[in-house]
Homo-oligomer: A and B are copies of this chain.
Amino acid sequence: MKPIALDAMGGDHAPQVTVEGALQAHKAGVPVLLVGDEARLRPLVQGALPIHHAPDFIAMTEHATEVRRRRESSIMVAMELLKRGEVEAVVSMGHTGATMAAALFVLGRVKGVERPALLVEFPSQKGRTFLLDGGANADCRPSFLVQFAAMGLAYAEASGVRGKVGLLSIGEEEGKGNALVLETYPLLKEAFKDRFYGNVEGRDIFLGTAEVVVTDGFTGNVVLKLAEGEARVLFGWIKESLSTGLLARIGGLLVRPALRRLYARVDPSSYGAMPLLGVEGTVFIGHGSADARAVKSALQRAHALVKAGLMDRVRASIQALHV
């Protein structure tokens, strides 16, 4: 299998953390190609991984539109490798906007997709909930959400989850929601028939009521960041409350391993990165603050999804909308 290209220069702690994550993924059996400044990468890698040189990179503080005139930046070079079929996928922990712009510019959109979307995975009581759009499109039209649903169902299936798609709203009944939801509901019903669950509410994301949830990128991004923030703050409070009083402190020592395992389950960095669905190639985008474990997870996930035929599934699912 061809390697997964990692934008080794992308992220707050690049290239140290990206290289470390790549080495871990490599040990776990994922073929990785580092893309970035060879002079900086070579001493970190010490021959353990192949490097594709890219002299430039887009800093986290630059503007996303920079990519158009920065053809030798690591993210643009990585996308070109994917476009030419030399790698199977691109993973970047760098500038989210720049990565999306580079993907769109170099790879283009899947036929039938108006707007690519970011997919977010949440742990749920029933397993996992796949939500999109996680923030690629702040304002959406109803047709975008129908395409998000098709791509989300395809991604879920490639991840081994068959399920239904729900429309995020503020009431279960048809007729509850904002203007976008009211217009989207009948379109989803027509396109997906009994695979459309109907409206779901905020709480259903963690309950796992529908496996795939679609919403506009504004709401989706607020949801993503709220869920992360709440988990962090709650676990911080738990830690605090287990260090107050002798009994709680003794108990705290005993339950620490169990709570740590649980936090790893809900911690967003265990998911590594979000796929950008709807561009002509497999692209995963992670947090700029990603640690080596997140980089490794992202590479493993990209590898697994490529093997599961993600792109063909997405194309087929979108095509089925137009039959």
Contact = CB atoms under 8 A, between A and B. Distances in A.
A169 B207 CA distance: 25
Interface in A192-247: 201-207, 215-219, 221-234, 236-238, 241-242, 244-245, 247
Interface stretch (A70-78, A149-157, A248-256, A290-298): A248-256
Given A238-B259, A248-B255, A255-B255, A205 B226 contact: yes
A307 B125 CA distance: 43
B222 A202 contact: yes
A168 interface: yes
Contact of A204 (B202, B229, B258): B229
Interface residues of A, number: 60
A218 B233 CA distance: 24
Given A170-B135, A233-B125, A261-B241, A226 B206 contact: yes
A181 B218 CA distance: 10
Interface of A: 124-125, 135, 138-139, 168-170, 177-179, 181, 201-207, 215-219, 221-234, 236-238, 241-242, 244-245, 247-248, 250-255, 257-259, 261-262, 265-266
